[in-house]
Chains A and B, each alone.
Chain A
Amino acid sequence: MDALILGLSSGASCLASCAPFIAPAIATESGAPRLRRLSLVGIFLAGRLLSYLAVGAAVGALGSLAAGFLSPSVDRLLLRAGWALGGLVLLAGGLAQFKNHSLCARIASGEKAALSVFVLGVAAGLNLCPPFIAAASRAVSLGALGGALYFVLFFVGTSAWALLFAIAPAFKRKAVEIKAIARITMLMLGLYFLVVLGIFGWS
């Protein structure tokens, strides 16, 4: 139960760190039915969960969580990797507005939308915030099954913000404008995350 509460209470910071990845991606689906948008959010969350589980297991196995904290250099490396990966996907999405990039155009047209949103979720999940560390340390100490359950409940708590997309309007009238603006935003975010934060690490 307290896993769920811990997750809910850190929802705001999860929303904040995920917003740059998911918001433009959803905005490019402006005008689409609610179900499609929600399913993309679900795919994003799945990517995030995979990232958490994989990194959490790796870091836990290395014993780095036993002390209850993550070494700053490992933390920053993961963060940079997340920015770089997310930036790459956003950049591809942003370049999709230029028709001569065929891969990017396929990403844009929705064929690869699910995949790109999944990868964005993985990238977002590399951002290991302090509540995650706390939850992971706790989960490690609870053993295999108990730990996994604890962690999944925590994750569900943090994903409560995704419900926002359930109530958000579709903006059908301005859909074309919003999509165009979203693509430009993705381009800017992609460049910033990949180059400034990811490659150079200039935060």
Chain B
Amino acid sequence: MKRTVWALGSIFQSLLLVAVAASVPVVFINSSYIAGRFAAILCLNVSPELSGGKVLAQFSAPLDDDDGPGGYEYPLGGAYEKGELDITSYTVRFPLSRPAWHAKGAFWQLELTFAKATPNGLAGGGFRAPAVHIYIGIYGAASGSTESAFGEGELVRFDPDHPWDYVVSVDGWSPSGEIKSADGSYSAPVDTTWNAQLRRLTLRIGLDKAPALLSSVLAGKETWYYVLVGAYDGAREGHFAAVRKDANLHDGGGARDDDSPRVFDLLVPRGTSKSSELSSEDSGKGILALVEPVIVGGAEKVAQPDRAAALAEAKSAETRDAAERAQKIAALPSPSKADADIVGELFGLGLEERARAAVDMRLATDAHDPLALAYRGALVALSASRASGLGEKMSLVAAAYRDLDAAAGGAAAFDPKERIAVLLCRGNVSSAVPNDVFGRAAQGAADFDAARLLAKGSGDAALENDCLAKAALAFEKAGRTEEASARWATLAGKESLDPRLRLELIDRGY
């Protein structure tokens, strides 16, 4: 008996040691997946004291709307790229009285993210294009102002129901920002951090020496913010460049009249249109455009959308599409060599076998045909979703990406429609595969963004909206919620939307 126990124990120990040895390569091969599981189970967050405090409020702003009231052009002097004055997100954090790790004193952190950010090239310099003014109002303050803090400044006036008490002015060319009070009694520098990779400007307003009223943010009083972005011009008071009828080296263009606001983008509350705010000036009477703030702790003035109606519309859109698809399939000619020219349509109609044959025909003619490679990759990815073993799935997806990456790399010079199809193929696969294994969701989002720009260029609004939604979903999958929110916010501002997208927005609270 003792011998048997010893023998079994010895066998067990041998097996254990082999399992331990095998566990090393096995765990490393699956480390992304396991780490992803950890993330889902443990749900850790980096200490807010390190990142600047817990988030109090976060606002998303639509993309591609850095054109003032509409039609504004950037000044010509800086060779700026579109998007450098486009706010995508604004975050207000809780004030921090016990900041961690090297931060000096209590502070209050605000963050602004842009669609594009180009550093000005100086050591420690910020983004080259934007000048930012954030006007802050605090509930219960005895007095405030409704006029610009910078003389002519931005050529806007502020909502009399929400006067501002402090203004923070920042640009990428000054070593730090500045905060000053409406009555002129207080001013202090503001720490600025420019992160080009995240396209983010981080502001830290010191609270140690701030007036008691500013410290009232610690007490969680209701606050409101006018976040205005203009083009940088160091020669003007407030550093906002003027906007004329025609752009020149220093000034922007596209202004309607002399009183047109010098604001390229601003944060507006839900239910308000930026272009209507910024075109509300009355030049004849010398009245400037009126802007409204976003409020933290304030009531939403937007009417609640009718979800039931949106759901019904979405369902009938679904039914219409299914009927259209059936009609198209019926109207297709019999399989022939001509299939090679309609491979996209075949794939879109779900005719996998025929699409596969069409792909093979194209590749027989040209082994590097990007469109064929992209569809082949997509078809292989589809078969991966039906495969049974994990190993088989993974190797099929890897094979799919070899084709998709080759297609995306090779189609640069080709027809925009083909390029869009290639990007959509890769984007769709990247959105479908698990991100914690393949880590491709962010790339998928970038593919959808690129497809969107091409669709916009060719005037296809429906496709543009579709790509925006897919990019938002992909960013959500990649855990980049700020970028996802910016895209949802952009969609929310569109006039005509597919009912299914409208439903998606309603379900997300837009």
- Whether B91 sits at the interface, judged by CB under 8 Å, is no
Nearest first, the 5 closest Cβ-Cβ pairs linking A and B are A72-B106, A72-B97, A69-B218, A68-B219, A67-B219
Q: Please, which residue of chain A has its CB at the minimum distance from the CB of B97?
A: A72
Interface residues of B in 209-251 (CB under 8 A from A): 215-216, 218-220
Min CB–CB distance B47 → chain A (angstroms): 12
Q: Please, which residue of chain A has its CB at the minimum distance from the CB of B218?
A: A69
Return chain B residues, CB-CB under 8 Å to A75. 97-98
Q: Please, which residue of chain A has its CB at the minimum distance from the CB of B103?
A: A203
Binding site for A on B (CB under 8 A): 97-98, 100-101, 105-106, 207-208, 215-216, 218-220
Return chain A residues, CB-CB under 8 Å to B105. 72
How many of A's residues come within 8 Å of B, CB to CB? 11
Interface of B is mostly: loop
> Cβ of A203 and Cβ of B220 under 8 Å apart?
no
Min CB–CB distance A91 → chain B (angstroms): 23
- Whether A70 sits at the interface, judged by CB under 8 Å, is yes
Interface residues of A in 58-112 (CB under 8 A from B): 67-73, 75-76, 79
Q: Please, which residue of chain A has its CB at the minimum distance from the CB of B209?
A: A73
A–B complex contacts, Cβ < 8 Å, 15 sampled: A67-B216, A67-B218, A68-B219, A68-B220, A69-B215, A69-B218, A69-B219, A72-B97, A72-B207, A72-B208, A72-B215, A75-B98, A76-B106, A203-B98, A203-B100
Return chain A residues, CB-CB under 8 Å to B220. 68
Binding site for B on A (CB under 8 A): 67-73, 75-76, 79, 203
How far apart are the CA atoms of A64 and B35 in the complex, in Å? 46
Return chain A residues, CB-CB under 8 Å to B207. 72
Return chain B residues, CB-CB under 8 Å to A67. 216, 218-219
How far apart are the CA atoms of A203 and B207 in the complex, in Å? 17
Return chain A residues, CB-CB under 8 Å to B218. 67, 69, 72
How far apart are the CA atoms of A71 and B98 in the complex, in Å? 11
Tally of contacts, chain A with chain B, CB under 8 A: 29
> Cβ of B97 and Cβ of A70 under 8 Å apart?
yes
How far apart are the CA atoms of A70 and B207 in the complex, in Å? 12
How far apart are the CA atoms of A5 and B218 in the complex, in Å? 24
Q: Please, which residue of chain B has its CB at the minimum distance from the CB of A66?
A: B219
How far apart are the CA atoms of A73 and B106 in the complex, in Å? 8
Return chain B residues, CB-CB under 8 Å to A79. 98
How far apart are the CA atoms of A75 and B106 in the complex, in Å? 10
Min CB–CB distance B330 → chain A (angstroms): 64
Min CB–CB distance A65 → chain B (angstroms): 11
Given contacts A69-B219, A71-B215, A73-B106, 12 further A-B contacts (CB under 8 A): A67-B219, A68-B220, A69-B215, A72-B97, A72-B98, A72-B208, A72-B218, A75-B98, A76-B97, A76-B106, A79-B98, A203-B98
How far apart are the CA atoms of A109 and B89 in the complex, in Å? 61
Question: When A79-B98, A203-B100 are in contact, do A73 and B216 touch as well, CB less than 8 Å?
Answer: no
Return chain A residues, CB-CB under 8 Å to B97. 70, 72, 75-76
Return chain B residues, CB-CB under 8 Å to A68. 219-220
Return chain B residues, CB-CB under 8 Å to A71. 215
How far apart are the CA atoms of A110 and B100 in the complex, in Å? 36
How far apart are the CA atoms of A68 and B217 in the complex, in Å? 11
Return chain B residues, CB-CB under 8 Å to A76. 97-98, 106
Return chain A residues, CB-CB under 8 Å to B208. 72-73
Min CB–CB distance A197 → chain B (angstroms): 12
Q: Please, which residue of chain A has its CB at the minimum distance from the CB of B101?
A: A203
Q: Please, which residue of chain A has its CB at the minimum distance from the CB of B210?
A: A72
Return chain B residues, CB-CB under 8 Å to A203. 98, 100-101
Min CB–CB distance B223 → chain A (angstroms): 15
Min CB–CB distance B427 → chain A (angstroms): 43
Return chain A residues, CB-CB under 8 Å to B216. 67
Return chain A residues, CB-CB under 8 Å to B219. 67-69
How far apart are the CA atoms of A203 and B98 in the complex, in Å? 9
Which of A67, A72, A73: most chain B Cβ within 10 A? Answer: A72
How far apart are the CA atoms of A68 and B218 in the complex, in Å? 8
